[in-house]
Amino acid sequence: MDLRDLKLFLHLAESCHFGQTSRAMHVSPSTLSRQIQRLEDELGYPLFLRDNRSVSLTEAGEQLKVFAQQTLLQYQQLKHAMAVDSPSLSGELKIFCSVTAAYSHLPPILDRFRVVHPQVEIKLFTGDPADAVEIVSSGHADVSIAGKPLSLPAGIDFTPLATLPLVMIAPALPCPVRQLAMNHEARNWQEIPFIIPEQGPVRRSIDLWFRRQRMPNPIIYATVAGHEAIVSMVALGCGVALLPAVVIENSPEMVRNRIMMLEGEDLGAPLELGICVQKQRLREPLIDAFWKLL
SS3 237: coil
**What is each CA distance from 286 to 125, 138, 190, 248, in whole angstroms?**
18, 18, 51, 33
Strands (DSSP E) found in the chain: 48-50, 55-57, 91-97, 120-126, 143-147, 156-164, 166-171, 193-197, 219-224, 241-244, 259-261, 271-278
Beta strands 259-261 and 166-171, pairing class: antiparallel
pLDDT at 141: 92
Q: What is the mean pLDDT of residues 224-229?
A: 92
Q: What is the mean pLDDT of residues 104-125?
A: 91
Tell me the per-residue pLDDT of 55-86, one tens digit each, with 9 for 90 and over. 899 999 999 999 998 888 888 777 766 665 55
pLDDT at 160: 94
Tell me the per-residue pLDDT of 253-267, one tens digit each, with 9 for 90 and over. 888 899 999 987 788
Lowest mean pLDDT among 112-121, 167-176, 226-235: 112-121
Which residues are 120's β-sheet partners?
Answer: 91
Mean pLDDT (the chain, rounded): 90
pLDDT at 2: 84
Task: Give Dmax (Cα) for the chain.
Answer: 68
What strand order describes the sheet that includes 91-97? 120-126, 91-97, 143-147, 271-278, 156-164
Among candidate residues 154, 288, 138, 158, the one with its CA nearest the CA of residue 146 = 158
pTM: 0.70
Cα separation, 74 vs 90, whole angstroms: 19
What confidence category does residue 44 fall into, taking pLDDT thresholds of 50, 70 and 90?
very high
pLDDT at 70: 87
pLDDT at 253: 84
Q: What is the mean pLDDT of residues 231-244?
A: 95
Cα separation, 26 vs 7, whole angstroms: 12
pLDDT at 40: 92
Name residue 191's amino acid.
E
